[in-house]
Structure 1
Amino acid sequence: MKKHTTKLTSKSIEGSGLPTDYKRAIAEYIWNGFDANASIIKIDFTANEVGYIHNFSISDNGTGINIANISETFGNFMVSLKTNSFSETGFVKGKKGKGRYSFSLFCNKAKWDTTFKSDDGRFLNYNIQINKDEIQNFETIDTVITKNKQNGTEVIFEDFFALTSDLLDNEDFENYLANEFGWFLYLNKERDYKILINKHPLNYKTVIADSDDHEIPFGKFIFKISFLRWNEKIGDKYYYYFLNSNKKEAYRKHTSFNNKTADFHHSVYIESDYFDLFKATKNDHPVLDDSFNQSNPTFKVLIDHLNEFVSSKEKEFVRNLKADALIEKYNRNSIFPFFSNNKYDKLRKEDLENVIKELYSVQPKIFQNLSIPQSKTIVGFLNLLLDTDQREHVLNIVDNVVKLSDADRLELSNVLKTTKLSHITSLVKFLENRFKIVDILKLLVFDLKKFTDERNHVQNIIEDNYWLFGEQYHLVSADKNFEILLNNYYSHLEKNKKKPEKIDNKNKLQRPDIFISRKSEIIDGSDPDLTIEENIIVELKRPSVIIGTEQFQQVERYLRFIIEDERFNSVTRTWKFILVGIKLDEYIKDLHVNQKEKGKKYLIQSIKNYEIYAMTWDDLFRIFTIKHKHLIDKLEFKSVVIEELEQKGINLNKEATDFLTKIALSKNEKIIADEPDDLPF
């Protein structure tokens, strides 16, 4: 036996920052084992029925303690050979040799039974012993050659005064070890690293809520990136840990996500032989030798990738977990405004929830630490805004409250633009308005026909709702004499024309009721290099007027007037004249039959590029029904739209609902522009 003395006193050792908690003390011995290249750490203990510990030891299969270096390890208290430890939390853990004295927290004696392989290939075993009363001294027992060709060290603790078996055999102790060593065991899972407690493996996975591994090449280096999200808080700050090829820490850097999202407990470990040459410096100036530091271009690119990667993990965490919890909390505390139980209101609420989730994912601070009244205010405001066509203004408002990155703006913008509910809302309002207009016209034409005239009643409605005669037409003028009408039309085509032209025709003061021209031209079927401009003139008749010879001749005069005006007689223009009245006499019906071969419903005359149509109000309303069957026929959420319309007092008849099928609402604008092929306008 040989007695050794350190260069410090027992008081210096006790005041040097040793652990003050038994769990921390035990962790130091485990780290010492991993620092000695161990892959398996065993914690073994036995106790009696009242919890008194008979035996307690921590062993490892590491390299052992070479007795040739004993004076540099145990002999120099603050200078350990293990200057590059696996330690993650910042406590010394073998870097300065303090861990071996941690036993003094809970027992009076510690003995190291260690086996190492000498330079000549022999396996040598010896013991080291330290007593708490003389902690500055340690003893080594003579070295012997052992037949057990297995490296390793076992630390045996004796004479306990502050440790009982219930402190070791409980969930709290195992959770502590899992939090402390979980990252290290995870990174070494392919090498089957383990901590065994009385032969049972420590289940470190219980503290890991999420994990993600991937590799990326930068230049000639490969970086293995391991992301861990913890179930519990692991410290005040979160770090990127940069590890060399031996998994030893070369550098650490705060992530940029330390305070943004509550409960986003995370660590990121980056392994590469790039960090074998890494030398961190206080200033980010390029190094002059072959090593790397923070100013190296590869390192900067790596940091950018890490920030983007962790940002995506944070949003995934918020969207999938925190946002759902927020919605549940809002439902529990009645934060949401009232929604009915119909399908449409359910979709409105779902839309509001999705926008809140996305906002929360992009910028959680918007919804954090709010009182119930504050939460109700912001949710109510969002609901009002989303119910309008100004929903995309949410983006600008949020951007004024918290600065959004370009990626955040794009992501949130896509959510606000693509939601199906906005299409449903717009469509319901669109259909509601049209059905009400048709109902009003039906009332005027059928129920109040004694009091209705075309100029003061019907025409006022039609000129604001010319879609009844085709979505493709643009209202140029209504109830104007032809001189004004044709000049308005001409100025519509020739926007630079300043002076109205005189029309030398005795019929110029005749007044058609409404004049509509097509916005855009169509391709000429006989010559693809030319386009045809379509025009429409509508003559409305009061409900008491039956369409007959007199009304037909009136429209013929309009037709002849246009034919005789050289400004409007190009063969690349077509003209459609439409007569609408309560009823058609037999003469007009015969004209329908006469034009039947042309395959155009309601046609009564066709001359060159001029056509005259005659129809009843009931025909016009039927056209409306057919067109909107065609529209509703293509709606994905047909039942939702119908239910919402019925809530507003608009009941589609069975004939209309029989035509309903599914198609994407995103095509609404095109659907509205489309019309059945067999209709003339």
Structure 2
Amino acid sequence: MSNVNITSKGIKRILKRYNAEQAIAEYIWNGFDARANTINIRYKANALGKLDFLEVNDNGYGIDFNELKSKFEPFYESEKTIEIAVPANTSVMHGKNGVGRMTFFTFAHDAAWLTTFSSPEGLRSGEIRMSAERLNHYEPSQLTVPMAEETGTSVTFRNLLISEAYMQDVVIPFLVEEFCWFLELNSPKEYRILINGEALDHTINIAEKESLIIPDETSDTVFRVVYIQWKKALHRELSKYYFIDSRYNEVYKDFTTLNKKADDFFHSVYITSDFFDDFSFKNGDNDQQEVLFGRSKAAPEYRHLIKELGKYIQARRRPYLRAFGAKMVDRFEADGIFPTYPNDSEKLRKPVLEEMLISLYEKEPKLFTNLNTDQRKLFVRMFDLLLISGEADKLVTLLEGITELDDEERIELTALFVKTA
């Protein structure tokens, strides 16, 4: 018998940001962190639709009983609310601090881990039990014989608080958005999440997918790229480049140039090449040793790749933003945002104003975010008045007082306003 060094209520306060679907996702991440390639979720409901049984199985390396303290005792004296962090530059070890194992209290009263792991003496198995009423207490027991012929872990949850409908309508859609990018990243390795034996279809979140080749003309280097635009946000993952070596191992990931733009252009870019087999992702601009003895970010091939990728995703984003801008203008019309035009000659201004707003959204969607109805009216009618005055080119100076513009954005907006004035 062992105890975690904090009260059960304290643990619940620390993990209070978690709901049932987030907690179930953490058990899946635990399996992938243990180098599993298949996670099998099984559940069964009774006649009333309430879950009687929920289980998460993985074929990872199991939980070594010599490491139980680090796996089940991550809390000490602090009761500060936390959220499990996502690794910044790699997709492995998502839940390395172990706190995700205690989130089951959000959807069940009891949890039991049956695990098989390798030891110097061969395969060994053990069982760990916990109750939501005593999250600071766990009961481990090592078994005398291994319970499986391969390593892996099965977590069984009893006395469940969620229904079959909740699993189907909330949990499974959540898992698609949580893991779609990760399953796509590891598709060459055939990573899978099974729900009652059926593979979770992460492709239902794909809005657009395209494969392309980016060669480097100064060398024989070839980069194979898969671009995906997602329908819905990727929760905590955001939009990133994933750099993959010839063995299909992710060696690094980083934000794309459009990650921080204020729109719903959710995307992932997967780049595979043997160029990344011997590559240092440290900032190598001033490190000649990196360039001489290995590839780095200072390599011309890498610089060429990033430049071409930036141009590519910018081109993919423009049509999306223009279509979204047109829908925004339609909503403005329905909400009475536009000024009224008392005569036919003044009505001729409206198409010009609409085109300006659509083009402006296409270039800077962040200008339209977080505006209430009155602010939208003021914003749109201010543009209309400047069109009347013939001083639309001065809008750039005005916009700089509202949001930060870089040199490229300033040039593009100036050209836009001169064109539409």
TM-score w.r.t. the length of structure 1 is: 0.46
Q: Does 1:307 align with 2:310?
A: yes
Tell me what 1:372 maps to.
377
Evaluate the alpha carbon distance shift between residue 274 and residue 408 of structure 1 in structure 2; reply closer, same or farther with a 3 A threshold. Answer: farther
Hey, what does 2:258 align to over in structure 1? 257
- Contact 2:43–2:54, Cα closer than 8 Å, also in 1: yes
> Residue in 1 aligned with 2:114?
112
Deviation at 1:181, TM superposition (A): 0.4
Q: CA RMSD in A?
A: 4.8
Structure 2 letter corresponding to 1:357: I
Rate the CA distance shift 1:242–1:274 in 2: closer, same or farther, 3 A: farther
CA distance in 2, matches of 1:400, 1:86: 39
Question: What SS does the corresponding residue of 1:11 show, helix, strand or coil?
Answer: coil
Aligned-partner SS, 2:71: coil
Mapped to 2, the partners of 1:167 and 1:91 lie a distance apart of: 31
Once the two structures are TM-superposed, the CA of residue 99 in structure 1 deviates from its matched residue by 4.6
Give distance in 1, aligned partners of 2:34 and 2:93.
Answer: 15
Match of 1:131 among 111, 129, 132: 129
Q: How big is the shift at 1:351?
A: 4.8
Aligned 8 A contact 1:178 1:204 in 2: yes
Give the 3-state SS of the residue equivalent to 1:195 in structure 2.
strand
Deviation at residue 191 of structure 1 after TM alignment? 5.8
Give the match's secondary structure for 2:47. coil
Q: Distance in 2 between matches of 1:102 and 1:273?
A: 40
Return the offset for 1:405: 4.9
Query: CA separation of 1:293/1:137 partners in 2, compared to 1, >3 Å: closer, same or farther?
Result: farther
- 8 Å contact kept, 2:65–2:142: no
C-alpha distance after superposition, 1:235-284 (max 9, x if no partner): 4x844243433666544434443554333344444444544544454896
Partner of 2:81: none
**2:196 matched residue in structure 1:** 198
For the structure 1 residues 13 and 71, does the alpha-carbon distance in structure 2 shift closer, same or farther, using more than 3 Å as the test?
farther
Among candidates 310, 315, 330, match of residue 328 of structure 1? 330
Decide whether aligned partners of structure 1 residues 198 and 155 sit closer, same or farther in structure 2, where only a CA change above 3 A counts.
same
* Greater relative contact order structure (CA < 8 Å, 6+ sep): 2
Unpaired runs of 5+ in structure 1? 80-84, 386-392, 423-681
Match of 2:341 in 1: 338
Equivalence for 2:184: 186
Letter in structure 2 aligned against 1:361: E
Contact 2:341 2:347 in 1 (8 A): no
Partner of 1:523: none
Partner SS state of residue 338, structure 1? coil
Report if aligned partners of 2:115, 2:153 keep a CA contact under 8 Å in 1: yes
Mean Cα deviation higher: 171-180 or 254-263: 254-263
Deviation at 1:324, TM superposition (A): 1.0
Q: 2:295 & 2:98 partners in 1: Cα distance? A: 29
- 1:30 aligned to which of 21, 28, 31: 28
| Largest Rg, 1 or 2 | 1
Q: For the residues of structure 2 that align with 1:100 and 1:287, how far apart are their CA atoms?
A: 45
What are the within-5 Å matches in structure 2 for residues 347-362 of structure 1?
Answer: 349-362=350-363
Q: Is the 8 A contact 2:214 2:225 kept in 1?
A: yes
Q: Please state if 1:175 is matched with 2:169.
A: no
**Aligned to 1:312, what secondary structure does the other structure show?**
helix
Q: Deviations over 1:165-193 (max 9, x none)?
A: 34752312122211210112233456654
Q: Report the 3-state secondary structure (helix = DSSP H, G, I; strand = E; otherwise coil) of the residue aligned with 2:96.
A: coil
Work out which of the residue numbers 373, 380, 386 in structure 2 matches 1:381.
386
Gap regions ≥5 residues in structure 2: 74-85
Q: CA deviation at 1:362?
A: 1.9
Q: How far off is 1:131 after superposition?
A: 1.7
Task: Call closer, same or farther: CA 1:139–1:166 in 2, change over 3 Å.
Answer: same
Instruction: Give the alignment partner of residue 4 of structure 2, picking from 6, 10, 13.
Output: 10
- 1:77 paired to 2:71: yes
Contact map agreement 2:46 2:52 (CA 8 A) in 1: yes
Q: What is the alpha-carbon distance in structure 2 between the residues aligned to residue 87 and residue 334 of structure 1? A: 41
Distance 1:158 1:261 in 2: 40
CA 1:279/1:24 → structure 2, altered by over 3 Å: closer, same or farther? farther
Match of 1:318 in 2: 321
Paired letter, 2:140: F
Question: Is residue 111–residue 127 contact of structure 1 (8 Å, CA) maintained in 2?
Answer: no
Paired position in structure 1 for 2:44: 46
- Post-superposition Cα deviations, 1:316-371, rounded to whole Å, max 9, x if no partner, equal 221012x1122213322151553978xx9998754543343223212335555343
Partner of 2:57: helix, strand, or coil? strand
Q: Structure 2 counterpart of 1:77, which letter?
A: K
Distance 1:99 1:296 in 2: 40
Question: In structure 1, how many angstroms separate the alpha carbons of the residues matched to 2:275 and 2:137?
Answer: 41
- Superposed CA offset, 1:460-479 (max 9, x none): xxxxxxxxxxxxxxxxxxxx
Residue 49 of structure 1: how far off its partner (Å): 3.3
- Match in the other structure for 2:80: none
Deviations 1:531-551 (A, max 9, x none): xxxxxxxxxxxxxxxxxxxxx
Q: Return the alpha-carbon distance in structure 2 between the equivalents of residues 168 and 89 of structure 1.
A: 31
- 1:47 touches 1:165 (CA, 8 Å); kept in 2? yes
Report the CA distance shift for 1:168/1:366 in structure 2 as closer, same or farther (over 3 A).
closer
Counterpart CA distance in 2 for 1:360 and 1:54 is: 50
Change (3 A) 1:380 1:222: same
Deviations 1:259-316 (A, max 9, x none): 5433334444444454454445489642735455555544444433333333333322
User: Is the CA contact 2:205–2:232 (under 8 Å) kept in the aligned structure 1?
Assistant: yes
Separation of aligned partners in 1, 2:105 and 2:89: 23
CA contact (8 A) 1:38 1:63 kept: yes
Alpha-carbon deviations, 1:489-522, whole Å to 9, x = none? xxxxxxxxxxxxxxxxxxxxxxxxxxxxxxxxxx
**Percent of aligned positions with the same letter in both sequences?**
24
The one-letter amino acid of 1:306's match is: L
8 Å CA contact retained: 2:126, 2:140: yes
Deviations 1:380-438 (A, max 9, x none): 533674xxxxxxx7456437744575588469848976x9xx9xxxxxxxxxxxxxxxx
The amino acid that maps onto 2:5 is K
3-state SS of paired residue (1:142):
coil
Cα distance in 2, alignment partners of residues 201 and 372 from structure 1: 48
